[in-house]
Chain A
Amino acid sequence: MIFLLLLFILIIATFLGRELISKVPSQLHTPLMSATNAISGITVLGALVVCAANTDDTLILVLSFIAIVLATINTVGGYAVTDRMLGMFKKKDGKK
């Protein structure tokens, strides 16, 4: 059953997330938050499918169009600002 397969993926990914995140040092927590925030904009995939498949219904088209815009702001803006922040972290010799 596909549900059980997806549930299995969810549980494994949660454990993986726990392992990955607990290894990030506290000095990188702000970029981490803005990065995880950016990747959660992946919900844009859902919005794209719904939008494309329902161009004949104005309500759904409008709602899913807004969803794509918001999720894209979340992703693109999130990655851009994370990159800007990480670009500031420099080593002692002055070079990155």
Chain B
Amino acid sequence: MINELNLTDLNNLAYILACVCTIIGIKMLGKPGTARRGMLISAAGTLVAVVAVFFDGQVVDSWDASNVLRNGYFWCFMAILIGSVIGLVWAQKVKMTGMPELVALFNGFGGLASALVAFSSFYVLYKADGGYSYDAVNDISTALAIFIGTITFTGSMLAWGKLSEKVTGRAIVFKGQKLINLILLLAAIAAMVIYIVPGFDNFTLVAVLTLTGIALVFGVAFVLPIGGGDMPVVISLLNSLTGVAVAMAGFIIENTVLIVIGALVGASGVILTLIMCKAMNRSISNLLFSGFGATDTVSAKGPGAEPKAISVEDAYMILEAAQSIVFIPGYGMAVAQAQHVVRELAEKLEENGAEVNYCIHPVAGRMPGHMNVLLAEADIPYEQLKTMDEMNPTMQMQDVAIVIGANDVVNPAAETDPGSPIYGMPIIKAFEAKTVFVLKRGKGRGFSGIENELFSMPNTLMIYGDAKATISSLANEFTME
């Protein structure tokens, strides 16, 4: 028979193993070739930790053979079963264009779970002893886990609504918004102080419930002024907050796995947020508080020359003679579901002896790296997917740049027009290519409502119409040869 001490040691060893697996998993995620195996290792680590927790002293004590409804194992297994089935079905059903929504939704679930863990452990203490653990660390962690976890939950739900267009994607700003947010924050701090500082024994439950209520509102208030186009950054940031909530929950139950993983996730979210901000040349505070995209922005310059349009047949003649072609896809391509026909056209071009590449802007799509996944789904090999920094120096050598459903990320105003709202944002220098095709549905302005002078440049040719139809008729022209 294993005695209690040995069991605890074994548990801790299992937790260390789980952390090691997760770290190795993330390390292997650094290369496309090893990423998938890395995630398997990481998942195995999570499984080890979950199995180990069933040998944890508190859980073992809950075994009750006489009454199944009092048996902790029964409830734990039921909950895991339900969660696994829902999770698996969801993961199978989601479309790749819908990935950002799914990540936002799952992220909200994770945040709420951490908040619930914190609230439940508070309530256990409250019933026993008025909510005091007589341990400041425990109280502070509890308050923070509830606050951050709840903000993550409502914030992620709103982000999910904005991304799936269940609510308007526009930034919503109103007078006094910053003031209201400040008051909410101060009230939250007051509630935390009342809970944490001894002396308000009768108010701990009220304080914790108030804190939860404020956090519910604050999560919404925090995402409300951020426009749909900036959602990639919001998801990264919310992801990071979940990590912090997990680490706080780790302090409450004194579990090292939660602390290590919470810290990893927290750091990951912050780094991705900063990468996104850099790619848009905006500071994090500008992004969070300015309400970018809330109003129609008008370029400082008037409209330039009328864009030149060409037919598919003429475009084909140019493509047939081209030796090097670069596709510049934006989210519009995914919306038009054009990625499969793009691959078909690319194959035809390669058979014709041309070199084909894809240049992806860091903020193209609705989450970091989203375009890569959408193109991978269409079986486009990942070696052909180039970053902006790799592609820009060779842009002058490209015979044709084909812009599909992208707008701001190729707008030269970011380099030339100090009055433009996107001035200073690093762009793909499509305009340097010998010829630029812009595939566009109509003559209107893009998602952000900014005038794009690329369209009226002398080397730019517009092909109006549905991107998918245009590309497939181009591919057909090659077949008919």
Contact = CB atoms under 8 A, between A and B. Distances in A.
Interface string A55-83: 11101110111111111111111111111
Contact of B62 (A55, A74, A77): A55
Contact of B117 (A67, A86, A88): A67
Interface size class of B (residues with CB under 8 A): 35 or more
A46 B117 contact: yes
Interface size class of A (residues with CB under 8 A): 35 or more
Interface string B366-399: 0111101100110101111101000000000000
A74 B104 CA distance: 10
B258 A71 contact: no
A10 B263 contact: yes
A33 B116 contact: no
Given A17-B265, A46-B258, A36 B84 contact: no
Contacts of A16: 23, 263-264, 267
B262 A40 contact: yes
Interface in B273-297: 275
B25 A35 contact: yes
B124 A60 contact: yes
Q: Which of B31, B94, B262, B268 has the most CB of A within 10 A?
A: B268
A72 B84 CA distance: 6
A58 to B, nearest CB: 10
Contacts of A13: 259-264, 267
A48 B109 contact: no
Given A29-B369, A85-B373, A41 B110 contact: yes
B99 A30 contact: yes
Contacts of A96: 36
A26 B249 contact: no
Contacts of A87: 36
A35 B72 contact: no
A33 B102 CA distance: 11
Interface in A35-61: 35-57, 59-61
Given A21-B271, A27-B387, A89-B376, A76 B257 contact: no
Contacts of A82: 39
B331 to A, nearest CB: 13
Can you list the 9 inter-chain pairs with the closest CB atoms, starting with the nearest? A72-B83, A52-B72, A77-B87, A17-B267, A29-B369, A80-B91, A13-B263, A68-B79, A29-B368
Interface of A: 2-3, 6, 9-11, 13-18, 20-57, 59-61, 63-92, 94, 96
Given A17-B266, A35-B26, 17 more contacts: A26-B368, A28-B369, A28-B372, A29-B368, A40-B265, A43-B110, A43-B114, A43-B246, A44-B113, A45-B255, A46-B249, A47-B117, A52-B58, A52-B73, A65-B75, A73-B83, A76-B91
